[in-house]
Amino acid sequence: MRRAWFVSALVVLLVAPFHAGAEETPARFAVGFHGLPPGLHVGDRFHGGRIVAVNEALRVVSVVATDPAGFQERARSEAGVRYVEPVPQIAFLQFVPDDPGYATQYGPQQVGAHFAWDRTLGSTSVDLCVADTGVRYTHEDLADRYTSGHDYVNNDSDPWDDHGHGTHVSGIAAATTDNAKGIAGLARVSLSHAKVLDATGHGSWDVIANGITGCVDAGAHVVSVSIGGETGATVLEDAVNYAWDHGAVVVAAAGNGGPCGDCVEYPAKYANAIAVGCTNALKGLCPFSSSGPEVDLVAPGTNVESTWFTADTAYRFASGTSMSTPHVAGVAALLKSWSPTLTNADLRSALEAQAEDLGAAGPDDDFGSGLVRADRVLGAPQTYTGRLLAGTAGVAVPCSPDLCPTFGSIGYGGLSAMRFDILPASGRAYALTTSGTYGHADADVCWRDADDQPVGPCALNPFLPDVGAVPVGAVKAEVRLTVGADATYVLTIDP
């Protein structure tokens, strides 16, 4: 519903309809090849058009042609050409900041970052690349984070922000936390940038694809893309797949087209992008958040304060799935900082498996797997309240073999079993402690993957607190614990 763009104070991922121009109007095309022919350079003529960019990673050239229909016909007939697609200039963004006095920062708190920061604030060996309108890298809260970037709009090495959106997005993910200035970003990592949208928020999919591949070629572990359009392009999907195949996590805004049932935008809609929807300060769904089966996670996106591009001390509030996306990208970078050996598949699996379920039980089209949770994915100390497997809380029942697989038959009559589903970080060792009448009860610990399937054998009767390392691939532990007649047992994990 486009009218929503103008009646709500949201950051809107704006997609103007593509108007087919008159035949003589120059048009831009992405020409993909099965194998890039040698000798194609910027400035060369190509089937009557002019090459304006070459992306060797995706084997695609961008061509501006003054005879669009004829160019398409000629180019498509060339052997070795995989696709010829128009890539019109689209207005992706319309930035409408919220009232600065309205709200305070709540995003890091909602995703549990303050617990995760007890583990790490982030590592500069992890690179988070934002593809957007540029970044004010001299900003007081970004200067210590920024490392490098490129401007794919103006073809220079200076991705200075002439719009504002990119600086805002960058600060949410990576403003310097704990520096007594401005705001807290999610992860104190290295920040790089690909400027892919111009000063008016316009861009085209081939330029955005160039930015995404450029981020990855420069070493990005996480690429944050707060850009969305209702139609995609082969060159864009190829760029997302290229990033994934080269080990990077791509996080993208689901879009601000809601309420709707099936309106997730591109590139978030692609399988290899993590599509991020929006929650408000009460963990409710933002009314503008695009819903659909492709939504993977949600994160704070209403009245989010972040760095602003007008001055090195400027900050501003804004709303949109554009703001939600860097929350997830930041948490991914934080987890990579804490567990550097995790692959992009590990990172994505952890983010989704350990999300906080919201809305309808289980994954759903509004919230995906749920709210991203930094504390859970980093295995920060948390407490879990168990649920009794049998009987009545506070009333002891015999611990049968069914309830307690290994020790159920060896005594402890009068004790009961309690189940805790904990969400550890793979590859880390944990100590478990309990509070309750029997502080060091026996326990069976069985590790499960994201589909609740067993990972390796159960840890049989491990006397707490020595559980050992969590197997790689395990995202959940089922702990069955002998407990007394006490309904208030709490289990604490401490990696």
Does 192 qualify as catalytic in the annotation?
no
Binder to Ca ion among 140, 296, 305, 365 (CB under 5 A)? 296
Binder to Ca ion among 25, 138, 155, 179 (CB under 5 A)? 179
Region of 229 on the Ramachandran plot (φ > 0 left; ψ -120 to 50 alpha; else beta): beta
Give the nearer residue to Ca ion in terms of CB position, either 85 or 366.
366
Binder to Ca ion among 110, 176, 280, 339 (CB under 5 A)? 176
Candidate ranges 82-90, 148-156, 209-217, 439-447; the one touching Ca ion (CB under 5 A): 148-156
Integer-rounded Cα radius of gyration of the chain: 25
- Rounded to an integer, what distance in angstroms lies between the CA atom of residue 313 and that of residue 101? 17
- Give me 315's structure tokens: 């900050």
H helices of 354-463, in order, are 374-377
Where in 97-226 does DSSP place strands (E)?
Answer: 127-132, 146-151, 190-195, 202-203, 222-225
Q: How far is the CB of 282 from Ca ion (least distance, A)?
A: 16
- Rounded to an integer, what distance in angstroms lies between the CA atom of residue 213 and that of residue 220? 10
Candidate ranges 153-161, 229-237, 417-425, 458-466; the one touching Ca ion (CB under 5 A): 153-161
Does 132 qualify as catalytic in the annotation?
yes
Sign of the CA dihedral with 430 first, then 431, 433, and 438 last = positive
> Among 98, 132, 151, 161, which one carries the catalytic annotation?
132
Binder to Ca ion among 44, 364, 449, 478 (CB under 5 A)? 364
By CB under 5 A, tell whether 156 contacts Ca ion. yes
Give the nearer residue to Ca ion in terms of CB position, either 22 or 282.
282
Does 165 qualify as catalytic in the annotation?
yes
> Among 139, 165, 202, 327, which one carries the catalytic annotation?
165
By CB under 5 A, tell whether 181 contacts Ca ion. yes
Q: How far is the CB of 123 from Ca ion (least distance, A)?
A: 17
Q: How far is the CB of 425 from Ca ion (least distance, A)?
A: 22
At residue 236, φ and ψ (nearest 5 deg) are -70, -45
Q: How far is the CB of 475 from Ca ion (least distance, A)?
A: 17
Residue 363: in which H helix or E strand, if any? none
HSE at residue 408, side-chain half, CA atoms within 13 A, is: 16
Binder to Ca ion among 15, 212, 263, 275 (CB under 5 A)? 275
Number of residues that this document lists for the chain: 495
- Give me 194's structure tokens: 């690909």
**Proportion of the chain in helix, strand, coil states, percent, rounded to 5:** 20, 30, 55
Residues annotated as catalytic are 132, 165, 322
Where on the chain is the footprint of Ca ion (CB under 5 A)? Answer: 141, 151, 154, 156, 158, 176, 179, 181-182, 275, 294, 296, 357, 359, 364, 367
